[in-house]
Amino acid sequence: MHSEFFPFVIEGQIVGYIHHHFANNLRSFQEVFIFSKDSSYGGCFGSHVTLHPMLKSPEGKTGAVGEVIKCLAEKELIPGIRNELYPVVSSFGAPIFFSLERAAAPYFGIKAYGVHMNGYVEKDGQKFLWIGKRSQAKPTFPGMLDHLVAGGLVYFNSLT
């Protein structure tokens, strides 16, 4: 069965899925991304995308991938750059492999986590839900209904 997505594999674990169409934009960055057609990692993944083996540290991976994201953003292939980093992990609470620009997270199919808050008020014995409305200036879902407070869980490195 042929999939429309390449598994995105870091250190032997699938951390996301990259659509073939978007993956074509990554092929020219051979010093950062490797497209494997073999069945490495014990034959589990088949064709997949991974990072170049010379990128060893989380900081090195973050920096190299960040430069690619900047280039793709300049070509308007990744809109809405926020300069917020999401941790790239195999599961919630797992060690962080590297960090990725928030706007790029959907293109790499990584798991992203957020916190959301709803508000309830009571008036004349009835409960009502407060509903927020997104600004028209937002890059994603402008003017749509939303939570009162919400946001993605970004990665903060105390060393930076």
Rounded to the nearest 10°, the torsion over CA 69, 23, 115, 64 is: -30
What is the per-residue pLDDT across 72-121, written as a single tens digit (0 to 9) for each? 999 999 998 989 999 999 988 889 999 999 999 999 999 988 888 888 99
**Domain residue spans of the chain:** 5-112, 116-151
CATH of domain 5-112: 3.30.750.160
Hunting for tokens 């300069």 — which residue is that? 83
Model confidence, pTM? 0.77
Which tokens in the block code for residue 9?
């594999």
Query: Which amino acid does the sequence have at 19?
Result: H
What's the chain's average pLDDT? 88
